[in-house]
Structure 1
């Protein structure tokens, strides 16, 4: 019993630091504009970073700097979004998170969802 408890505490200690710096990414669509928001799991806002947009085949189609407020916006115009997009954020200190925009997310973006 003690051995199991110690093993659990040890594993928890190993995962704690990794979870503390995870970047949570959220993206929403309104009409043809995508808004991306990034925050660490602690609530802290990344001060620098890059937003990478990939198509359904995993090809990078655009990159943008993350704003100082942890957000950025981009237009869908000219992007191959019909099959969905993957949006990843890498912070200046190399933490990364992502959000997937499905075709349904994109097409319902201007319909009050």
Structure 2
């Protein structure tokens, strides 16, 4: 019986750690010409594949692009209506996360 309690206690400690080990983290920055999207799992590894969806401030899909092999994607601002800000979503199939760029974020990095 004590072996069962020890096993149960061990599993209780391990399960939360392994559940959080694969959280996807997304970051996006602007250099005035493009948005640079970076996606990494909480263990530091880049996703092998995934999609980047760019939505406007009203959640209208503007474009969908594939992630590069290093977990990044450069999204040109030319042709995107970013006046209301942008929502950058990354979906790897089993994990997803997003980053919000406000109009102020974009203007600040573009010097306007």
**TM-score (norm. length: structure 1):** 0.80
How many pairs are equivalent? Answer: 102
- Asked if the contact 2:24/2:41 (under 8 Å) is kept, the reply is yes
CA RMSD of aligned residues (A): 1.9
Unaligned runs of 5+ in 1: 1-8
Stretches of structure 2 lacking an aligned partner (at least 5 in a row): 1-10
Query: 1:2-13 counterparts in 2 under 5 A?
Result: 10=12
Residues in 1 aligned to 2:67 and 2:59: alpha-carbon distance in whole angstroms: 20
Cα distance in 2 for partners of 1:46, 1:79 equals 25
Q: Could you say which structure has the larger radius of gyration?
A: 2
Shift of the alpha carbon at 1:98?
0.7
Q: Distance in 2 between matches of 1:86 and 1:17?
A: 29
Moved over 4 A (4+): 12-15
TM-score using structure 2 length: 0.81
How far 1:57 moved relative to its partner?
1.2
Corresponding residue of 1:109: 109
- The answer for the alignment partner of 1:53 in structure 2 is 54
